[in-house]
Chains A and B, each alone.
Chain A
């Protein structure tokens, strides 16, 4: 790694060490960010990016190494000290009070005061001023609860700027944004940077790195393994550094096997209505079919009913109306286990909450949901469980290969491989794949996509939900866009692209979809 001594870097992290139990999240990680640049910190999930940024922002102490900001040694500082010195982190999950207005949220903790009381007018004035300066357009008087996700994120960034941050750390800021909102964010970040701020962008999306950053630092397994000037490198070069080997990044056209005329759909949903936790109808009358040998991809910004839709199909959420048919048979009244046995596989969107029991061994996780098939008169069949584990670990290249290790000892990609192996290796006719590659490294993404294609080619029906539009476009034979609990359009793959789908995803455009 090269380190240029001049000028004084805005941030210099040297040989940072951080352990969590037996896991070394950072091992001698180093990072140097020059003033006034947008610097990407990339790496697979679990590479230690967020940990490194939390150490920089004072949210957690490091076990070794030094932190310098503006040439000053600040190792071991607290969040309060970091904010006072102009280092602010914009978290992936918004930390806003929904019942307060935008202006109130922005000034929270540093409220302007006159005669001992909160000076609301001044707060609004200051926020509007800052909003204009930075180009972060927000409605200062609106309640945060009424904002769109993109607006809420702008408030979050504004909050950090209001505290005087000159070094902004952004943790995967585009995860919840639609394409137009992403473009808007880049515009704002460039403007903030031109105003003299320094920005560190945590991401795993290589197109973002290429389009908006000047420098890239790549992390792998807790180490900073490479540093490039963005214009001197390629996505393939970065991916190579992230994974440690060459990776094929080409977007392959979905090869539709085609829905045979008159062929019965493997999965059919009719007029499905599902109540949500906050909204009355999280899924509001959705109907569709998925044919054998077809991938139906659902695109859309997260939180538009995709989670509720898939959980209702899987039997995890009660249905308020409508029917679910599997291979022509009505399964609406069956429970989770019966639906599974009827031929429904499910890769859940959150492997930590649903898909795995992290404390359980790899072998035990490989039978989760099928434990009733690995028993004799109530007693677990240890030999069958071990044989199953050996087969799946080999077939799906799960590492490490010790089946007795707890799942929490594995990387995100390998944890996801456990889920994929389990759900693909059993007999099924339809597969629900929710965010199948979320938080897994580039190499595993490639592998998982290949598995999904293989299953499709073997005649399985796959319902894919992904927050990554690129993933939907890569895999799907047909693309549906979900907005506000409805399918607002369904298009064949060849008619779908980011420009066409964007307006549907933001709700700007809708049509009645079958």
Chain B
């Protein structure tokens, strides 16, 4: 029999329901493998003992009607978890233990999931390589000293290394899809308003969205079904009819129109990305989809727009970390002195950079030129998609302009780091659903992903296309467990 840890979520659930594997056996397998994988540095906080205990309790009194019956799951450390330390990858929350649970994680525990631990991420989800985390770099299981992407880098690495059957991340500008692409895994950012933001440490409120990360498309559909819910505690949560994503999942996408935006052929894009995209188009055709060339004319403004809107919101969202109520407090001679020391010591370089940018673009005299203009451009980007969706059902693009890079390779060049998000940020700005699926490898055998973008609230179509193409692509990660040797 295959190892428990390499089973898909779907298979694991099946085995547990058929009583071939107990919840405790599953928990043990993931805990054991995690214990042997410390070199990857995926966990900020382990919840192993408690997970083993809870899995036993599940086995003693099992409920197989649940969607995640006794399934151990590790989550990104941006989700507040009751009585379990939540750091957001930051020194300023190093000692913070919430007394409450995020809605998304609550939904998972309600369906039988059991917390394995909290996964490393870029500080306050600001980063594309997990290198901004206060808790250190995460190793990509694909190869040594390769970044796992970010900000959900601990999540993607844990998934690719089979340390958790599925996981959840958050995606503000690509933080689910880019690390999925870098690790040969699947990551879905749902429509803004699908998954409640209640209890998720905020980065940029108008862009943040939680979503599933998994080893295959079907698993993402199962997890999305669990975490997507209307929540009155989040005023931006939307009350729409949610599908039974996993049972409605189909590979029949015959006749669906898929758009290919010409503006995504950016200057300096590596050949292999171009080729991957061409291959993707062929796969989509093979699946029965109709390919249509479309234009998203404001694409080139998306990145600058994003890097105004997101830091602006972040600069305000992070004001609450002031040493007064919780988290780190450095001693100071006065209130202002205490603020300055706490925030200087508590925040890392990238977070400080974005607070500075955000404060600048909101300041009097600059607001109209930056923030207000960015909001207007954001509307234009949304309209681009609206118009495209008059002609097509979904859009196919590469997930990232390159494959995973080496740790340290871009950490001194923020702009080159920001360029990682070039294909993913327009989706956040427009609030659309987008998925990244593994589609091939580059010359170093590092994974590359393709992105499928859907209409608002049409996660089902996005999943169906991905599910169908996944079968044709037939990608398999080659994980050598190098870190255990």
Asked if A and B bind, the verdict is no
Residue positions of A touching B, CB distance < 8 A: none
